[in-house]
Amino acid sequence: MQHPRLDALDALRLGDPDAKVAATHAAAARMRVHPAPAEPVRRAGDEAGVPGRPERPLRVAAISVEKRSPFTPEGRAALIHSICHIEFNAINLALDAAWRFDDMPEAFYRDWLRVADEEAQHFSLLHAHLQAMGWRYGDFTGHDGLWTMCERTKDDVLARMALVPRTLEARGLDATPLIQAKLRRVATPDAIRACEILDIILRDEIGHVAIGNHWYRWLCERGGQDPVALYPQLVRRYEAPRLRPPFNQDARARAGFSEEELRLLDAHAVRAQPRADAAGKARGARP
């Protein structure tokens, strides 16, 4: 029988979204009942075809994606599509973590295949909703921010845990309630359904970020490093996006951020506020 981590690689290489979802569910199911032997699986040239992605959506710079106002039907579709695109990339991110890094405990691979399984479910829920609205995945553009950080950290599992789940994906914990608030103002049936799906995603993403926090701290402990002091060094080294308030402190606490880390976020938000206020005044002064 094939090594379970190679099942993750096979799913990662698939470009068709439906095929990737099915293969991810199958790989996670096999991992639940079969052990992952403690042996390296990486081979020369095995990155060929990673990650598998469909031809569409067209990938553009983040500033070039369509406007996503929730107050028009097309804007709501573009918003749902953007989240759908994030979840598709999240499948690849979790599969990549399960396959790429040798010499980790079996629990690490089980965790990340479980995350991939849940990300595939999120994608399916969003894509079905998008189709009910009259659109499909690929009808709008998307950007590569998540996968870019995946590429930057491909040779460092510690940096991957620090900067993908507990940085980029943790931003989703902050953003989701804000998106839901806008959708509730719209209050159309499709907006209400989107909020319901986002409730599921937020619940699961707290668990995904918690897994990233667990393995980040485990790796820091193994290497004799201070996780709080090391984090800003990794942010600078890998040019991770700066954290911007507001922060969902409750969700971040449930996802395993320490009291010290949450206090640092609070301090960051206080420092950032004067800059944001000044920027707002400058924009308001323009004709």
> What's the pTM value of the predicted model, to 2 decimals?
0.92
Domain boundaries, the chain: 4-36+58-282
Q: What is the pLDDT of residue 238?
A: 96
Cα(first)–Cα(last) distance of the chain, in Å?
A: 67
- Alpha-carbon distance of 29 to 23, in angstroms, equals 10
Indicate if the pLDDT at residue 200 is higher than 80: yes
Alpha helix locations (H) across the chain? 4-13, 17-33, 73-100, 106-132, 145-152, 157-163, 170-186, 189-223, 227-237, 249-254, 259-285
Please state, rounded to an integer, the average pLDDT across all residues of the chain.
Answer: 91
Indicate if the pLDDT at residue 67 is higher than 90: no
Q: What is the mean pLDDT of residues 84-107?
A: 97
Q: Residue 247 in contact with residue 269, Cβ under 8 Å?
A: yes
Q: What is the pLDDT of residue 270?
A: 52
The tens digit of pLDDT for each residue in 218-244 reads 999 999 999 999 999 999 999 998 888
C-alpha closest to that of 168 among 193, 191, 151: 151
Q: Read off the pLDDT band of 211 (50, 70, 90).
A: very high
- Alpha-carbon distance of 93 to 62, in angstroms, equals 18
Indicate if the pLDDT at residue 96 is higher than 80: yes
Q: What is the mean pLDDT of residues 57-61?
A: 87
Q: What is the pLDDT of residue 286?
A: 34
Percent of the chain with pLDDT over 70: 93
Count Cβ atoms within 10 A of the Cβ of residue 239 and give its class: 0-12 exposed, 13-18 middle, 19 or more buried.
exposed
C-alpha closest to that of 219 among 161, 164, 168, 169: 161
Q: What is the pLDDT of residue 36?
A: 82
Indicate if the pLDDT at residue 146 is higher than 70: yes
Q: What is the pLDDT of residue 243?
A: 85
The tens digit of pLDDT for each residue in 244-280 reads 899 999 999 999 999 999 999 888 665 544 443 434 4
The tens digit of pLDDT for each residue in 97-122 reads 999 999 999 999 999 999 999 999 99
Structure-block tokens of residue 248: 């969902």
Q: Read off the pLDDT band of 74 (50, 70, 90).
A: very high
